[in-house]
Amino acid sequence: MKNIIKGIVVWFVLIGLASCEKKVKTVQDTNTNDEIAQHSAFLNNWFHEQFKEDLKDSPEMQTRIGDRTDYGKWDDISPEAAEKHLQKAKERLKWLDANINTAKLDESSVLSLQLYKQQLQNHIEDDNYRLYNYPLNQMHGMQAEIPAFLINMHQINSKSDAEAYISRLNGLKELFAQLEQNLKAREEAGIMPPKFVFEHVINDSRNIIQGKPFDTSSKNSTLWEDFTTKVANLDVNAIEKEQLKEKAKSALLQSVQPAYSALISLLEEQKKRATMDDGVWKFPNGAAFYETALQRTTTTDMTAEEIHQLGLREVERIHHEMDLIKNKVGFKGSLKEFFAFMKKDSQFYYPATLEGKKAYMDKATAIIDSMKSRLNELFITKPRADIQVKAVEAFREKSAGKAFYQQPALDGSRPGTYYANMYAMEAMPSYQMEALAYHEGIPGHHMQIAIAQELQNVPMFRKFGRYTAYVEGWGLYSELIPKEMGFYGDPYSDFGRLAMELWRACRLVVDTGIHAKKWTRQQGIDYYVNNTPNAKSDAIKMVERHIVMPSQATAYKVGMNKIIELRKYANEKLGNKFDIREFHEVVLSNGAVPLNVLSNLVDEWIDSKQ
């Protein structure tokens, strides 16, 4: 059950529903309004109690939402904890079946019940694939996520906060011992990442234990720099600050360094036994696992072959639209030659200097600020939480993706963050800046995720729903909305929007190619290089992401297509009664949901307007 509340994408286990039954009417003639209100309140109180129980089991989730109850602890990632969560899921499903009468619930509670039960059912069904992931990888591996958590999530506003940080540093030895146990169990089960993954993870791990106090370097290590900077701003006397720093130094040397060193040793041994096979077809029952992963990710019944063919059709369509822009700007060569021009011409790239990176970040911030001023044209509800733009931290920028979003704290103590990766400026062309900012920031992930967290009168688990096809489908749809508002005035910028959509269409082809058709890593890279204007470094990172996160990248285009389809359908049905602001309210006002549930919600809205 821990996956219900953590809000972290770890393959399909933490991703939404394969399907949900069509929502039924709940107000029966035989039930009074009081009975419905009472039974709905009874269920929602139970949801609240389960969330509190799950939150109690997850110190990391507590920190994410601003709760400092177990501020100095880490989550339990042992096999025993996983078994405990499985049994809890079975008990909860049994309790719901025995105690809840759907006919006595209001419509919102019916939806909550359907979502919650399907999560439980998926958790139980997917336990056969409990080991089918890579806890260490270049995208969201613990080797980088743990320090990133301390840096970005663990705030130090008091002496006790600092001591909790030190406690977490000391706790890394036990946490990594559990991690190593999990890695060994996966190898025994035939679940091993390909050889290239080890290079990334070992490099990340070594980076954490470089610099002061781990060596005589003049440069501070990442965690030491973070801790000392935060403690320097504390309102305590100088002696107490020095005492805290000495405790932290001891924890870094006696716990963090041994933990990472032991992990590196294990990884170097496993690397010798790793193969070059990239797809999950190599796993025991790998084909069945992948089809299940696709269902969980897309919240549809689409097969790998259907998704592959959809990708091929979308790539062809977008290439045609790009041809029109190529002709508009007067380029005389082929589309492939235009791609090469866009990849190489210096006018489209900021210099890889401190000044160039700052200029990029300033422009990205200006794009976000400009969209902020136009939100009333698109939305009824807007998030209270603010958004900031930050560069990916140096210690993880080499392996991290080009851009991503971090949700705000539930208590308002931390804004949402749009991260842009400044490591390889050739992978961050200026013509893609708008689409990237709209997707990761506003009207994209920040609007959807922050609004969901701020919903009133819904169970907490719905505020943290992570149905990838919905979440990423909204992000990709959000790249299109600004064009309809008059943004992307520069044709090259509009080309960048199409390039971003093309990238997601190619993902459908390559993800299924690698995991269902046994493509190699190089075949995947070649497909991106030959069909998109993106840098080769982009292609390499994307293919490596496909490999360690099977199915995840198929969600974007499937989700976007569904939202566009629903909007077109609603517009046709309602005519002059259609209001884009109301449509977006329907899409966002229930939090993340599976795509077929979203269809039901749009149908109900259409019925209410007619």
Cα separation of 223 and 213, whole Å? 10
The pLDDT of 213-226, averaged and rounded, is 95
Q: What percent of the chain has pLDDT over 90?
A: 87
Last residue of a domain, one of 102, 131, 160: 131
- Assign 506 a pLDDT band (cuts: 50, 70, 90): very high
Degrees to nearest 5, angle at CA 156 with 155 and 160: 125
Residues 494, 463 share a domain: yes
Cis (ω within 30 of 0) for the bond into 213? yes
Number of domains comprising the chain: 3
Residues 197, 172 share a domain: yes
- Assign 30 a pLDDT band (cuts: 50, 70, 90): low
pLDDT tens sequence across 251-292: 999 999 999 999 999 999 999 999 999 999 999 999 999 999
Degrees to nearest 5, angle at CA 506 with 504 and 508: 80
Q: Is residue 19 pLDDT above 60, yes or no?
A: no
Residues 418, 316 share a domain: yes
**Of 433 and 399, the one with more pLDDT:** 433
pLDDT tens sequence across 148-162: 999 999 999 999 999
Q: Is residue 8 pLDDT above 80, yes or no?
A: no
- Assign 398 a pLDDT band (cuts: 50, 70, 90): confident
- Element housing 445 (H / E): helix 445-445
- 457 φψ region: left (φ > 0), alpha (ψ -120 to 50), beta (else): left
The pLDDT of 479-507, averaged and rounded, is 96
Q: Is the residue at 603 inside a domain? A: no
**The pLDDT value given to residue 27:** 41
Among 19-28, 327-336, 568-577, where is mean pLDDT lowest? Answer: 19-28
Exposure of 92 in the CB half-sphere (CA atoms within 13 A)? 26
Among 8-22, 136-150, 479-493, where is mean pLDDT lowest? Answer: 8-22
Instruction: State the burial class of residue 251 (Cβ atoms within 10 Å of its Cβ: 0-12, 13-18, 19+).
Output: buried
The pLDDT of 100-118, averaged and rounded, is 95
Residues 472, 388 share a domain: yes
Between the alpha carbon of residue 510 and those of residues 34, 241, 483, 517, 564, the distances in Å are 54, 52, 27, 9, 23
Residues 463, 334 share a domain: yes
Residues 153, 237 share a domain: yes
Q: Is the residue at 301 inside a domain? A: yes
**The pLDDT value given to residue 555:** 96
Residues 305, 161 share a domain: no
- Assign 23 a pLDDT band (cuts: 50, 70, 90): very low
534: CB partners within 8 A, 6+ apart: 343, 427, 499, 503, 528
Residues 126, 158 share a domain: no
Q: Is the residue at 204 inside a domain? A: yes
**The pLDDT value given to residue 264:** 98
Q: Is residue 87 pLDDT above 70, yes or no?
A: yes
The pLDDT of 417-433, averaged and rounded, is 94
Q: Is residue 70 pLDDT above 60, yes or no?
A: yes
Q: Is the residue at 137 inside a domain? A: no
**The pLDDT value given to residue 465:** 83
Q: Is the residue at 388 inside a domain? A: yes
**The pLDDT value given to residue 128:** 95
Long-range CB pairs of 335-341 (<8 Å, 24+ gap) are 336/530, 338/533, 339/532, 339/533
Q: Is residue 412 pLDDT above 90, yes or no?
A: no
Neighbour count for residue 501 (Cβ, 10 Å)? 23
Of 150, 130, 148, give the one whose Cα is nearest residue 139. Answer: 148
Residues 46, 75 share a domain: yes
- Assign 4 a pLDDT band (cuts: 50, 70, 90): very low
**The pLDDT value given to residue 2:** 38
pLDDT tens sequence across 339-363: 999 988 999 999 999 999 999 999 9
Of 463, 476, 438, 455, give the one whose Cα is nearest residue 592. Answer: 463
Residues 527, 401 share a domain: yes
Instruction: State the burial class of residue 438 (Cβ atoms within 10 Å of its Cβ: 0-12, 13-18, 19+).
Output: buried
Residues 348, 244 share a domain: no
Q: Is residue 457 pLDDT above 80, yes or no?
A: yes
Among 101-105, 402-406, 489-493, 565-569, where is mean pLDDT lowest? Answer: 402-406
Q: Is the residue at 574 inside a domain? A: no
pLDDT tens sequence across 177-195: 999 999 999 999 999 999 9
Q: Quote the distance between the C-alpha of residue 502 and its chain's center.
A: 20
Residues 122, 186 share a domain: no
Q: Is residue 464 pLDDT above 90, yes or no?
A: no
Range of the domain at 246: 142-275
Q: Is the residue at 589 inside a domain? A: no
Last residue of a domain, one of 245, 275, 305: 275
**The pLDDT value given to residue 528:** 97
**Of 72 and 610, the one with more pLDDT:** 72
Q: Is residue 468 pLDDT above 60, yes or no?
A: yes
Q: What percent of the chain has pLDDT over 70?
A: 95
pLDDT tens sequence across 231-252: 999 999 999 999 999 999 999 9
Q: Is residue 1 pLDDT above 90, yes or no?
A: no
**The pLDDT value given to residue 26:** 40
The pLDDT of 374-383, averaged and rounded, is 96
The pLDDT of 370-380, averaged and rounded, is 95
Task: Return the beta strands (E) in 454-573 as ranges.
Answer: none
The pLDDT of 104-128, averaged and rounded, is 96
Q: Is residue 13 pLDDT above 80, yes or no?
A: no
Q: Is the residue at 47 inside a domain? A: yes
**Of 354 and 9, the one with more pLDDT:** 354
Exposure of 525 in the CB half-sphere (CA atoms within 13 A)? 11
Last residue of a domain, one of 108, 131, 154: 131
Neighbour count for residue 210 (Cβ, 10 Å)? 14
